[in-house]
Amino acid sequence: MIEIIPAIDLIDGKCVRLSQGDYAQKIVYNENPVEVAKMFADAGIRRLHLVDLDGAKAHHIVNHRVLEKITGSTGLIVDFGGGLKSDDDLRIAFECGATMVTGGSIAVKDPSVFSSWITRYGADKIILGADVKDEKIAVGGWLETTELDLLPFIQKYMEQGINKVICTDISKDGMLQGTSTDLYKKILAAQPALYLIASGGVSSIRDVEELHEALIPAVIIGKAIYEGKIKLKELTRFIIHN
């Protein structure tokens, strides 16, 4: 059964969504992300993907107080990402209640640091963020596409113990145009033991069903929930099995 993971993206402490990572295409959905997190928890959701977009821009953790309020007032298992670049950033994130952290650009730009986090905290605490365009890894808030191929990139870190990967197809993210199911199938065919978390493009409950039928372990859903394309009650049949 596919795990449902709603996303809350933070700018100025508010719940927002971007389209394809473009800060100029920001929509504020709620001034109080803690209320949103409580709504998810009340619906039976157990996991939350919390992204510090201010932190991603600043290259260090910014919205840790919001993280602390969410983990302090809900029972949600929170994975936290966005701008985590130093050991101090991780310390703050874990102290503020994150169960897991996600590292994306750092795994490309400073692999020795990311590898040290896997060693220090263990693979259960560290998620690899693999943002991808045309099967090439993208970094820096998606402004830069690298020459790194997706599958070898994942393989490299799985050899170091990583077992959870969030893969976001940046051409799909925030566009409500459907998911890259074929890409996710390809990843799992290469790495069947991977706990792959699909991200980007979910536009309807049918997209979730398609990923479930493809045996994708988990999916992050953002804009589709905020814009009413998917109602939380539609997700109930997936949530109750998690």
Angle (CA) 17-21-24 rounded to 5° is 75
Catalytic residue selected from 9, 54, 79, 89 = 9
Catalytic-residue membership of 9? yes
Could you tell me which residues come within 8 angstroms of residue 146 by beta carbon, excluding any fewer than 6 positions away? Answer: 108, 136, 137, 138, 139
Distance CA 52, CA 90 (A): 13
DSSP state of 2: P
- In Å, how far are 5, 154, 173, 183, 193 from 163, measured between CA atoms? 17, 9, 23, 18, 8
- In Å, how far are 28, 48, 226 from 16, measured between CA atoms? 4, 15, 9
Question: Computed from CA positions of residues 57, 61, 63, 67, in that sequence, does the dihedral angle turn out positive or negative?
Answer: positive
Catalytic residue selected from 54, 79, 89, 131 = 131
Burial label for 2, CB within 10 Å (0-12, 13-18, 19+), is buried
Distance CA 167, CA 137 (A): 10
Q: What burial letters (b/e) apply to 70-86, b meaning 16+ CB within 10 Å?
A: bbeebebebbbbbbbbe
**Which residue is it, tokens 């950033």?**
89
What are the residue numbers of the active site? 9, 131
